[in-house]
Amino acid sequence: MDSYDLTRTRLETYFDGTANEAWKRLMSDAPVSRIRETVRAGRDAMRAELLSHLPQDLSGRRVLDAGCGAGQAAQALAARGADVVAVDISPRLLAMAEETTPPPLARRIAYVAGDMLAPELGRFDHVVAMDSLIHYALGDAMTALAALAARTNGSMLFTVAPRTPALAVMHTVGKLFPRSDRAPAIEPVALRRFDTAVRQSLPPGWRLTSRARISRGFYISQALELAA
């Protein structure tokens, strides 16, 4: 098994198994701890940030929500008129996504269980991948972005975990907890290094733009856009 497949298998065990209930709670309106409230607020702000860089009217556009989780971005995209393919490796999160989709949006979202890189998903005008590449090593994230770029006409909006002192502390603290309770490691990356890797891995037409960094308590994530 190569390192991309290994990471994906670990993530499936985590999101569909050990941490599934915690994630479903975070992705709902149910009360959560103070710490998780900051994560929820950060995630809401990041979703709004990523989606703000797409046209307001997405009618007729085909959009991939890559690693859609409980479908929060997919539903927001469909509400703006997009035809959405929402793919995730966790069937249990997908079940929640289907349950929470308002009926008028359901006909515009195809929920698919599987790998975000599956060629059968087809071609897209835009790709959104919120916090779904942050656990992959830089080389694997590049492989994923290059594969998605080959099937995308417009832009890709995604996040990385920025290499910041605050995040480094959180990761060290995280290591104090028992391994079974921990998420698969996040792969923080310096933006300059990421930019160099993009130039080496993607066709020359693709330009990387830094968007907002969202920092809310325990949630720190950097929005990036790749456009053809």
Report if residue 51 touches ligand SAM, rule: CB under 6 A.
no
Report if residue 67 touches ligand SAM, rule: CB under 6 A.
yes
Site track 9-28 with ligand SAM (rule: CB under 6 A), x = hit? --x---x-----------x-
- Residue 118: CB partners within 8 Å, gap ≥ 6? 87, 112
List Cα–Cα distances, 184 to 10, 110, 145, in angstroms: 7, 28, 20
- Cα separation, 106 vs 209, in Å, equals 32
Give the residue with the Cβ less far from ligand SAM, 136 or 194. 136
Kindly tell me which residue out of 75, 90, 101, 155 binds ligand SAM, with binding defined by CB under 6 A: 90
Q: Which of 182, 200, 202, 211 is nearest to 11 (CA)?
A: 182
Work out how close the CB of 172 gets to ligand SAM at its nearest, in angstroms, rounded to a whole number.
21
Chain positions 154 to 183 lying near ligand SAM, rule: CB under 6 A, are none
- Cα separation, 222 vs 35, in Å, equals 19
Report if residue 130 touches ligand SAM, rule: CB under 6 A.
yes
- Cα separation, 178 vs 102, in Å, equals 39
Instruction: Give Cα 61 distance to the centre of its chain.
Output: 19
Report if residue 93 touches ligand SAM, rule: CB under 6 A.
yes
Report if residue 49 touches ligand SAM, rule: CB under 6 A.
no
Give the residue with the Cβ less far from ligand SAM, 87 or 127. 87
Give the residue with the Cβ less far from ligand SAM, 118 or 207. 118
Q: Which of 135, 22, 204 is nearest to 144 (CA)?
A: 135
Chain positions 184 to 213 lying near ligand SAM, rule: CB under 6 A, are none
